[in-house]
Amino acid sequence: MLHAMMSHCFTLRVYYEDTDLAGIVYYANYLKFIERARTEWVRELGVDQRAMKEGAGLVFAVRRVEADYLAPALHDDVLMVESSVSSARRAQITLRQEVRRGDELLFSALVSIVCLDAQGRPRRMPEALAPMVAAGRG
């Protein structure tokens, strides 16, 4: 079960609204794609982000993104976003997220996510993510 928690795959299709006039995915939309993948992963792990905010006053925030754009995705492509834990601490998880069309790597990013309270101070990750944090410490 822990190994399954350490990586996640999310499939999406490129819509016309995701592209520029040439039918190529606009660069900022890759950040939206990987955000969707992270959100679905956390949801599948049992974390309700709305309840987390309303109940405990905690939210996730992106602290840092390092991105490489390697090849263009096109209108109507089916893409796979693979996310895996690169490192983790109590209040921060760094993920490697890759966007592929079939076997072709199109986009790669390292994304650091922090857990913050209502005052913007770092807080421990929710208990559902504890195995990721424990396994991500190297």
| pLDDT tens-digit map of 19-65 | 999 999 999 999 999 999 999 999 998 889 999 999 999 999 999 99
Number of domains in the chain: 1
End-to-end CA distance of the chain: 19
Residue 130 per-residue DSSP state: H
Please name the helix (run of DSSP H) or strand (run of DSSP E) that holds residue 133, with its range, or none: helix 130-136
Digit-coded pLDDT (tens) for 67-87: 999 999 999 999 999 999 999
Catalytic residue among 20, 48, 68, 117: 20
20 is catalytic: yes
Which CATH number covers residue 15?
3.10.129.10
> Looking up tokens 């905690």, which residue turns up?
58
Give me the domain span that covers residue 19.
Answer: 2-136
